[in-house]
Homo-oligomer: A and B are copies of this chain.
């Protein structure tokens, strides 16, 4: 399974489908420890073969007979015809008699593969390394489980939480290392959202660029939220594929539309009104807070009032990672249900 997880990680973090890896093992030979690897495969993105099909093809290309073999796969084989046929069919056709999978498939359409295989006489074992497998596909898993994308809210602020000085100047609060990091994140997500207000004010390209300034191989879908039109000469309309313009302020409508577009991971870059609406709806799953050591004392805040009036009921976050990026820091945090225990220290 470790090898299958390694293979899975070769796939893209973005895209509608999960990252999956598969290893085909020859039947055990009595008296000889270990199992011969017949084939390996991983999913390279929507429209390409699933990991199981890729691994079976690899085994055939190497001249191996897969009858009686074991498929070790990081996710329960799908039982669904989408852009490609069901993996359950491919495994049965290849004569696979044993399947070991890590994570169960939570999909209402793609799930049920293990039961189908068992019904056809395959010995299916579930569970090893399922936490590691989930880690590889957590945005996809979240989206197919909840029906909405995993939402990462990015802020780039002064130490005192301002996104700009009082005259509106905001370029650049954070330094080049923080900005390069933010571009690398853009290249991993499915979509980036800004409000029409931010688009009109900043005319952002919202492209993912490498440190040398060239476009990254994967560009996220650019999403603009709000009722106003963008001028035709704005970068979002001028450069690259057209953005998705969602003419609504309803968070539920926005998330449903994105889910319909199979967006698994949404990066929200601004403005404050959108951040506030998502926080108020408690649908932000992760914060990426880039913080620069500068104090502005005034200027627009990153987060507007969104309904928190007292500390005890403020949603709490669990810090998963901190990065030093030049003079700036990045704090990554996820929502946690629990509030820290109150205590009674003196100030």
Contact residues in B for A109 (Cβ distance below 8 Å): none
Interface status of A17 (Cβ within 8 A of chain B) = no
Interface status of A337 (Cβ within 8 A of chain B) = no
* A291 in contact with B291 given A173-B311, A309-B167 (CB within 8 Å): yes
Interface status of A303 (Cβ within 8 A of chain B) = yes
Interface status of A166 (Cβ within 8 A of chain B) = yes
Contact residues in B for A213 (Cβ distance below 8 Å): 345
Query: Within the complex, which residue of B204, B303, B318, B346 is in contact with A347, where a contact is CB–CB below 8 Å?
Result: B204
Interface status of A251 (Cβ within 8 A of chain B) = no
Give the Cβ gap from A272 to chain B, nearest Cβ, in Å. 9
CA distance A343 to B170 in the complex (A): 13
Within residues 24 to 61 of chain A, which ones have a CB less than 8 A from any CB in chain B? Answer: none
Give the Cβ gap from A337 to chain B, nearest Cβ, in Å. 14
Decide if A293 touches B316 in the complex (CB within 8 Å): yes
Within residues 323 to 347 of chain A, which ones have a CB less than 8 A from any CB in chain B? Answer: 324, 326-329, 331, 333, 340, 342-343, 345-347
* A311 in contact with B164 given A289-B159, A293-B287, A329-B319 (CB within 8 Å): yes
Cβ-closest 8 pairs across A and B? A161-B161, A293-B317, A160-B161, A293-B333, A169-B311, A204-B347, A298-B305, A160-B303
Q: Which residues of A contact B (CB under 8 A)?
A: 155, 157-162, 164-167, 169-173, 175-176, 179, 202-207, 209, 213, 235, 276, 279, 287, 289, 291, 293-298, 301-312, 314-319, 322, 324, 326-329, 331, 333, 340, 342-343, 345-347
